[in-house]
Amino acid sequence: MGGSGFVVTLPPIRQPRHRLIRPNELARAVELAALRLSTVADPAARRLVLLLIDADEDPACVLAPRLLLDAQHAARACDFACVLAVVEYESWFVAAASSLGEFLHPEVGDPASADPERARHGKRWIERRFREPKYSETIDQRRMTAAMDLGACRRASRSFDKLCREIAARAVAK
């Protein structure tokens, strides 16, 4: 985070989830992220490494603290936050489905739940409603994220709300 009141984000370091939940692999990814952050021109800038992964079948309340502990050792020169998308990142799209009409067919037979995380709506829910021939994480996540209503997502998803709270806490921290 820049000291001048704006946030500079670097391109994500994409890693398979199964690697990031291993302590040594997570440490390696965090060290790489910290190294990349050290290249930011403003030496007074606060630096945050954000680990964002799918919770999948793991309880976020168990896995996230373990990952946070594993990664904090590797992120000594940076602040570190860990957020798990419950169930999957696509659950956030379900939470904001009303704003994603250009990507999703109207809900038929299986409407989005007011609590998509508890209903376990995720990638499969999105794939069944996707307007284009096939949903692709690497192509469509970026476009859908840019289009989704963040307020609606935050109201319907506790894990997205957690992401917002983590970022907001650092925006006001001195």
Strands 79-85 and 48-54: parallel
User: Can you list the alpha helix ranges (DSSP code H) found in the chain?
Assistant: 17-20, 23-37, 60-72, 89-95, 116-119, 123-129, 137-147, 150-156, 158-172
CB 88 within 8 A of CB 58: no
Report the alpha-carbon distance of residue 100 to residue 141 in Å, rounded: 12
**Which neighbouring-strand residues pair with 80?**
49
Phi and psi at residue 71, to the nearest 5°: -85, -30
Report the alpha-carbon distance of residue 101 to residue 97 in Å, rounded: 7
Tokens in use for 34? 């910290």
Band of residue 1 on the pLDDT scale cut at 50, 70, 90: very low
Alpha carbon separation from 103 to 50, 110, 134, 150 (Å, rounded): 27, 17, 11, 16
Q: How much is the pLDDT for 2?
A: 43
pLDDT tens readout for residues 143-170? 999 999 999 999 999 999 999 999 999 8
pLDDT tens readout for residues 94-147? 999 999 999 999 776 667 778 999 999 999 999 999 999 999 998 999 999 999
